[in-house]
Amino acid sequence: MDKTEPSKILSSSEVKHQLRCVSTILDSLDALVYVADMSTYELIYFNQYGEQEWGEINNKPCYQVLQSDQQSPCEFCTNKKLVDSNGKPTGVHVWEFQNTVNKRWYQCRDQAIPWVDGRLVRIEIAVDITERKLMELELKQLNEQALHNARTDPLLGCLNRRAFFESSHAVLSHCKRHHRDLALIMMDVDRFKNINDKFGHAFGDEVLIQIANVIVNTVRDEDIFARYGGEEFVLLLPDATREQSIFLILRLKA
């Protein structure tokens, strides 16, 4: 019969040596490592990275040290995500956030674990991902700008022809499904070529801008207005009767 090897009892000097080894490892990390009581939020441990970035813990709760002007637990605190309905640890939760003190972005790995004295604590390892996050945000803004440019008339700032058809599809389907009124108005500028020929294209552009401004300031928010091409404009009016559409046309002509 195999005999179970008895647990080795460490001397106080060996324990201190192991603690120094662990502390050396954690303090050498280019990342925040901290431990906080999950009931009181008191910070129990802070590695050197944390102290250099946020100062000493001084028995304060994590939200007072790690966040700016925070006097109660953070709304985004992950404690509830780290335990199940019976209060048992559920494993690692990975998330990202922007710190309110230094405005840096961090990817955090949070986990609930039993502490040496038996209480449940949250251990978090937070790695600075600011450069990557800023690049992601910049790419997102560029994509949004590219999409906006693809749908917007560069001169008038309204929808272009392509965007009009894309936007009107949902409106047409809605009105057809719910048997709602729908009006379509096509407009153009009379003798616009003569304006360009006589006063120049810059003046003609200003005329189009002023006309577009009048239309935008007259129609409702739910109406779809677009430059159809050249001096042509189009309006799609959901829930507009024939009489309402005619009234709008007369207002625009006036």
Q: What are the beta bridge partners of residue 238?
A: 182
> Contact, 33 vs 43, CB < 8 A?
no
Closest CA to 164 of 96, 227, 99, 216: 227
Q: List, by residue number, the catalytic residues.
A: 231
d(CA 240, CA 246): 10
> What are 43's strand-pairing partners?
36
* 77: Cβ contacts below 8 Å, ≥ 6 apart: 63
Burial annotation 8-35 (CB, 10 A radius, 16+ → b, else e): eeeeeeeeeeeeeeeeeebeeeebbbbb
End-to-end CA distance of the chain: 104
Tell me the longest C-alpha to C-alpha distance in the chain: 109
